[in-house]
Structure 1
Amino acid sequence: MFHAKAFAPFENLATKLQPHASGSDDGSHDIAHILRVFKNAMRIQAVEGGDARILAAAVLLHDCVAVEKNSPMRSQASALAAKKASVILVELGWDRDDIAAVAHAIVAHSFSANVPPETLEAKILQDADRLDAIGMVGAGRCFYIGGRMSSALYDPFDPAGDNRELDDKRYVIDHFQTKLFKLAGGFQTKTGRALAATRDQRLRDFFAAFLDEI
């Protein structure tokens, strides 16, 4: 059951946008993910500033178009989501400039889109979304997606990839080195960077413990 109060003080907005928020059965991009990103975003916004209403709408709609990780359309997912979000907000009577601000934040949040965030709200959304890709939650999501893509956990003969080319489509654990460990260095806000440093260390500790156990 959806609980709009979890998105306070934007309960009314959340109620209107929640039916559009997630477009697939992907448990790594579901309403739980959106709520975690919302909490991250509000935590950063409380320190950094920015328009919280624009940010809340962008968070709620940033994954409104679902494109699987292994799809050739993956790099276009955020642009497609921004386009759909714009239509939704027009129907709700939003101002054109505010819609454009939400759309830019959505487009720029994606790692694969490679679009630089130009507004504070876009920077915060990118940071908030990437925080959910690292730390313990990030590790859990990584393995979930790997299972969804039918990947093996690791190469049993060279799990750390010391003597082979890393392949995160074939081995889940390779994704830590090919992408996840690189994220903390690209955060946009001071608050986001501080939060990322803690989660990045947790992720590295998890990786080390995983390798030790196998």
Structure 2
Amino acid sequence: MAFPDGAFPRHQLLWPMVEARLPAGELAHDREHLARVYAWALHLAGEGGVAADLAGATALVHDLVFVPKDSADRAQGGARSAAAAPALLATAGYSAVEAEQIATAVATSSWSRGLAPGNALGVVLQDADRLDALGAIGLLRSAACAQFMSRAERPGRFYDPGDPFAESGRPLDDRLQAIDHCYAKLLRLAAGLRLPGARAEGARRHATIVAFLAALRGELGQGIAVQADSAG
């Protein structure tokens, strides 16, 4: 599929404005992330009962304002993107009513805030965005994010060498240890997907993460059992 899809002229107008705001050097939130979320939003639009044009536009602007994952404002990315979106949407030809619907969906999209979707567009966006945090691509994005957060004054690492899988009851810290992100977030995502198509794909991607952790456990010499939340 072309990105943005040529069937939606307003997406063609919107995309250059979004592309200009992409964060430099952050692979977890790059052009390809938006393209994947966009493709899933279009795919899920019918199932979610929303117009594909609006679903695609919502995906394009959902990360309009980038907030680093190790920032104290980590949970504010969705709200800030929602506030910035209407001006770009208006320039691309979306009405005030359409822009408000899209902004409402974006405002409730952040996992960190733990909000339910604000409308049907929000359901589609949450499912599409969270699918991109699962599976093989989700693991790649998690590693990229960990590298982006690692700094000389606070270096990160892949795992806690004394307790890689947080089995001692230690607090999870996914700003320090990349594998902690699997337990803090990734293994909890599939159970929260709402649309049937997203749930089916999410179950497959959840299994990929469980298999990865089992392989890692074996390579670290800690057996093969992996504790993970059920996908539901």
Give the TM-score normalised by structure 1: 0.91
Match runs of 1:1-214 below 5 Å: 5-10=2-7, 12-21=9-18, 22-25=21-24, 26-150=26-150, 151-165=156-170, 166-214=172-220
Distance 2:8 2:97 in 1: 22
Distance 1:102 1:17 in 2: 13
**CA-atom RMSD in angstroms:** 1.7
Distance 2:39 2:84 in 1: 23
Give me the identity figure in percent: 32
Distance 1:124 1:156 in 2: 38
Shift of the alpha carbon at 1:19? 2.6
Distance 1:115 1:127 in 2: 13
Q: Greater shift after overlay, 132-141 or 164-173?
A: 164-173
User: Structure 1: which amino acid aligns with 2:192?
Assistant: G
Give unmatched runs, 5+ long, in structure 2: 151-155, 221-232
**1:184 and 1:197 in contact (8 A); partners too:** yes
Shift of the alpha carbon at 1:92? 3.3
Q: Secondary structure at the match of 2:113?
A: coil
Residues 44-80 of structure 1: CA deviation (Å, up to 9, x unaligned): 2244431111111111111111110011122111111
1:134–1:88 distance in 2 versus 1, CA, 3 Å = same
Q: Greater shift after overlay, 82-91 or 161-170?
A: 161-170
1:71–1:20 distance in 2 versus 1, CA, 3 Å = farther
The structure where helix makes up a greater share of residues is 1
**1:20 and 1:64 in contact (8 A); partners too:** no
**1:48 and 1:191 in contact (8 A); partners too:** no
Shift of the alpha carbon at 1:164? 4.6
User: Structure 2: which amino acid aligns with 1:42?
Assistant: L
User: Structure 1: which amino acid aligns with 2:165?
Assistant: A
Give the TM-score normalised by structure 2: 0.85
Distance 2:173 2:118 in 1: 32
1:162–1:113 distance in 2 versus 1, CA, 3 Å = closer
Residues 99-140 of structure 1: CA deviation (Å, up to 9, x unaligned): 111101111211123332132221011000000001010011
User: Structure 1: which amino acid aligns with 2:129?
Assistant: D
